[in-house]
Amino acid sequence: MVVTHRTVDGIDLIALSGRLMMADVPQVRQRLLEVVEKGGGRLVLDLAEVGFMDSSGLSVLVSVFKAARLKGGDVVLLRPNPTVRSLIELTRLQQIFSIFDEEAQALARWR
């Protein structure tokens, strides 16, 4: 799993690429929590290139959400593919995550 990070106007944009499964979880969780710790806790997670995710991957999203909310921030999701979106909806995680199709819409969450 490849994790790419950039910042736009103080908002952390993190793009994940690959399959997010149990074997990848420790490394990806640590990387994302570091971003929350060093930044302002406002994260856009771009999932467009995540082809597969299981419940351990969802636990990473919830961990990061918790950490961000503790800092007064939030995490939004960008462009999950239909498979990942279906998993998010199946587990009702759309009740805590806003999901956007366009980066500009996601960034506008804080503008």
Partner 1 sequence: MAMTRTIRLVIESRAECIELLSGAVSGLCGLTALPADEIARIELAVVEAVNNAVEHAYHSEPGHMVVVEFRLMPDAFSLLVRDRGDPMDPDKLTASAEAVKLDRADPETWALRGRGLSIIKSCMDSVEYEVGDGENTLTMRRRLGGSRPD
- Residues interacting with partner 1, by CB under 8 A? 19, 21-23, 25, 52, 54-56, 58-59, 62-63, 65-66, 69, 82-83, 86-87, 90-93, 95-96
**DSSP at 23:** G
Please list the residues that pair with 52 across neighbouring strands: 19
Compute the least distance from the CB of residue 89 to partner 1, in Å: 11
| C-beta closer to partner 1: residue 7 or 86 | 86
Compute the least distance from the CB of residue 6 to partner 1, in Å: 26
Contact assessment for residue 8 and residue 42, using Cβ atoms and an 8 Å cutoff: no
Separation of alpha carbons 30 and 34, rounded Å: 6
Residue 15 in 3-state DSSP?
strand
Compute the least distance from the CB of residue 64 to partner 1, in Å: 11
